[in-house]
Amino acid sequence: MASPDQKSPNVLLQTLCCRILGKGEADVAQQFQYAVRVIGSNFAPTVERDEFLVAEKIKKELVRQGREESAALFSELYRKLYSQGILKNRWSILYLLLSLSEDPRKPSSKVSNFATLFAQALPRDAHSTPYYYARPQTLPLNYQDRNAQPGQSSGSMGSSGISSIGLYAPNGPTPTPQSLLPGQSYQRAGVGDCLRQQLGARLAWTLTAGQPTLQNSSSKGVSAAASRNVPRTRREGDLSGSVEITEAFLVRDILYVFQGIDGKVIKMVNSENCYKVDGKVSLSKSLRDTTSRLAELGWLHNKIRKYTDQRSMDRAFGLVGQSFCAALNQELKEYYRLLSVLHSQLQVEDDQGVNLGSESSLTLRRLLVWTYDPKIRLKTLAALVDHCQGRKGGELASAVHAYSKTGDPYMRSLVQHILGLVSHPVLNFLYRWIYDGELEDTYHEFFVASDPTVKTDRLWHDKYSLRKSMIPSFITMDHSRKVLLIGKSINFLHQVCHDQTPSSKTIAVAKSAESPKDAAEMFTDLENAFQGKIDAAYFETSKYLLDVLNKKYKLLEHMQAMRRYLLLGQGDFIRHLMDLLKPELARPATTLYQHNLTGILETAVRATNAQFDNPEILKRLDVRLLEVSPGDTGWDVFSLDYHVDGPIATVFTRECMSHYLRVFNFLWRAKRMEYILTDIWKGHMCNAKLLKNMPELSGVLHQCHVLASEMVHFIHQMQYYITFEVLECSWDELWNKVQQAQDLDHIIAAHEVFLDTIISRCLLDTDSRTLLNQLRAVFDQILEFQNAQDTLYRSALEELQLRLQFEERKKERELEGEWGVTASEEEEENKRIKEFQDSIPKMCSQLRLLTHFYQGIVQQFLVLLTTSSDESLQFLSFRLDFNEHYKAREPRLRVSLGTRGRRASHI
């Protein structure tokens, strides 16, 4: 029975090596060491995980061997395997079958010695960065075929695979020159030694049972060196007494340049900002050009390293900037891993005594091949550094995201990996904001800005805003606005509504991006996962906020109260209020007292249907007196007011209430004109019968009746336009928008549009100032007409009263048997009657003048209406001039509506 030690993996592995090679334990020490490294490695495959490509390779191999029937059978079996979907890793199984079909022990695959492993392509190390690779897995750099065409090997370049593994910013390996001297072994422990051990793991399968001696490889190296005609003198790099430089020396020098360290002959030329070979050194043009191409890696490394060194210590660069620097340092770390492998290879050559001319030695051409992909990677990073100069926060994330929009899958995978790291702080800001309403943005990197000086009453409007420059390009403006609204709603609920409900109860809190990997996965499905989380939080938060405002703070009821009282929608209340206020408002404005008017307001409320409104609403209704000007009456300064505070003041701001005040004054004046004309009509109807006995007044009264009818028609049409076409239509649109609103901003915007509409269509905006002045002039003429008719009726009724008294005295005296009148009394009576009759033409002329002024103002008002851009105002002009009376007098009113529209557009 075997002991436990004999069953250990190390013992079994050593036994396996001995049986394969047919040698003793001492002779297979190197092979055993390599086998241990292979088993302990975690290298990623060197080919693309393309299942279809592997299947095609198997079929081509079968066809090449003349086994067409087997190839057809394989295709049918593969089709059945693919359709069943039982296996998850079909690619791995196919790749295993393909690898097993290749005989690793055939003569062409043998390697001559331990160092010959490095004649194959440099293996790609394990990757944490997503990596696209479509090249063959090996690069045979067998320099026995030097005469082959360049195009034959260009497609088989390997990759060093600088990748990203962890958040670590190393200073990079900087081996000392002494470690590279021949005869000294590379004794450095740690990462460099581990990587050197991993170097041959990917190619360890090429080890065979028989190895030629080192002398054979050395002899091959001498012949190869002779064929390349490269001097091999003074490999150690001592230039004294020598003009020519060996390629081996250049290889050692270039490895230092890769780290940004000046070599002995390759140095940084600051004036030209590049690495150059010393001009005193004698080199062939091909070697000099190859060296310059390789030295570009050092220049790219310096550029990236300089950026990270400068920015890493800058705290004002912010978390996003620090994440970007960490991502760059990750990539540099993988670049340093490559350099460690190259140094290890050079050290192995020195330890084994491999000459430059051997097939496995490091050469400039091999360095070109092995650094091809790292160079592309560094170029991408350097371009990112240039593009991100002067940027921070979301702007920096946008700059990185812009580079991911490329057709090169290799560059796209690299940039997406960096984007995942860079955007991680942005996503943390975002999730903290939309789920907790907290904004911890010390360095102003997030696209939501906060102003701590703003008070609570202006929290919704002014405290939070968008920094448009910091909005990442992978977040649309619509979603940015939603993000702003979510956090703003949470803070509004807590600070203004005093609602302390935890956000977890109002929002279905989703898991945030806790790692850069989660952030990277987020960008692979922006349309669904990322935007879906924002939309869900937006709808839940906004719905909860609107429910609180409508149910707890009665927002919609307050809006309806504004319509009923400030926009005169409660007709019975307004009419009764005018009746009660008429005696008070007829007095000079300086004699009014607010408490008296408030008492009248309360009386009007109790006497009408307004008494059934919510007490909370009636408590907010009040009287306000405007600033008094000389000559003003109570009608000019009276106004209703509605007090708003708390959350509803966010919708009904001071600006909105000032708009309501302007609209109320206009409507109140128009309603007063209707009230005055009603009194005029009642006075005319009542006095017409009384004044039948005064035929001399029939013409004047008819003229008064005609002018009053014109004014009544004008005011009725204006009231219809204001009430139905402006207020009712606009209110209906507002109410529909409020019912469909998804957030508070929609309600505020709809309310502002409502106010702007009624202000512009009630002629209260700046563009309608001329129309408003004409309308006020019409109102003034109505007041003049009221005064003139009152004067006429007063004098006519006094005269009628005197005449009736004279006739009554005459009858009384006749009944007493006396003369009815004396001659003097009759003469006095006739004289008074004649004076009254003489005043009638004056009244007629005054009425004619008033009519002329009124019709002239109305005519000018109609002309302005026809040239207005608002079609409703143009149609109002038709209704005001329904019988074309003004059209016959004014040529400008005879133009058709279509011509008016075209003329207005040209103007």
21-68, pLDDT tens digit by residue? 888 888 888 888 888 777 765 555 555 567 878 888 888 888 888 888
pLDDT tens digits, one per residue of 857-899? 999 999 999 888 888 888 998 889 888 888 888 888 876 545 4
Phi, psi of 171 (to 5 degrees): -85, -10
- Measured between alpha carbons, how far is 353 from 183 in angstroms, rounded to an integer? 8
Banded model confidence at residue 352, pLDDT cuts 50, 70, 90: low
Residue 143 pLDDT more than 70? no
Q: Is the pTM of this model over 0.85?
A: no
Residue 269 pLDDT more than 50? yes
CA atoms within 13 A on the CB side of 724: 8
DSSP 244: B
Q: What is the mean pLDDT of residues 716-726?
A: 94
Distance (Å) of CA 808 to CA 696, 804, 814, 819: 21, 6, 10, 13
Min mean pLDDT across 484-488, 505-509, 562-566, 689-693 is at: 505-509
Distance (Å) of CA 297 to CA 260, 286, 302, 380: 9, 18, 9, 12
In this predicted structure, what is the pLDDT of residue 353? Answer: 59
Q: What is the mean pLDDT of residues 156-161?
A: 34
Residue 166 pLDDT more than 50? no
DSSP H helices in 443-554: 477-495, 503-506, 516-523, 531-547
Banded model confidence at residue 238, pLDDT cuts 50, 70, 90: very low
Q: Do the Cβ atoms of 464 and 450 come closer than 8 Å?
A: yes
In this predicted structure, what is the pLDDT of residue 655? Answer: 94
Min mean pLDDT across 496-510, 596-610, 773-787 is at: 496-510
Indicate the length of the chain as a whole number. 907
Question: Ranked by mean pLDDT, which of 92-101, 227-236, 523-532 comes out on top?
Answer: 92-101
281 vs 619, higher pLDDT? 619
In this predicted structure, what is the pLDDT of residue 141? Answer: 32
pLDDT tens digits, one per residue of 308-326? 998 888 878 889 999 999 9
- Measured between alpha carbons, how far is 236 from 477 in angstroms, rounded to an integer? 63
DSSP H helices in 638-653: none
Residue 669 pLDDT more than 80? yes
In this predicted structure, what is the pLDDT of residue 76? Answer: 82
Q: What is the mean pLDDT of residues 136-154?
A: 34
CB atoms closer than 10 angstroms to residue 570: 20
Banded model confidence at residue 244, pLDDT cuts 50, 70, 90: low
- Which residue do the tokens 């149609």 mark? 875
Residue-by-residue DSSP string for 851-871? HHHHHHHHHHHHHHHHT-S-H
In this predicted structure, what is the pLDDT of residue 168? Answer: 33
Q: Do the Cβ atoms of 359 and 249 come closer than 8 Å?
A: no
Question: Ranked by mean pLDDT, which of 31-35, 203-207, 723-727 comes out on top?
Answer: 723-727
In this predicted structure, what is the pLDDT of residue 480? Answer: 93
Residue 136 pLDDT more than 90? no
70 vs 658, higher pLDDT? 658
Identity at 387, one-letter amino acid code: H
In sequence order, which residues have a C-beta less than 8 Å from that of residue 486 and are 6 or more positions away? 433, 434, 534, 537, 538, 541, 542
- Measured between alpha carbons, how far is 230 from 460 in angstroms, rounded to an integer? 77
Residue 798 pLDDT more than 70? yes
Residue 24 exposed, middle or buried by CB count within 10 Å (0-12, 13-18, 19+): exposed
- Token pair in block for residue 68: 């067409």
Residue 695 pLDDT more than 70? yes
Report how many helices (DSSP H) and strands (DSSP E) the chain contains, helices first.
Answer: 33, 6
- Measured between alpha carbons, how far is 891 from 16 in angstroms, rounded to an integer? 115
In this predicted structure, what is the pLDDT of residue 188? Answer: 35
Question: Helix crossing, 531-547 with 409-436: angle to 10°?
Answer: 20
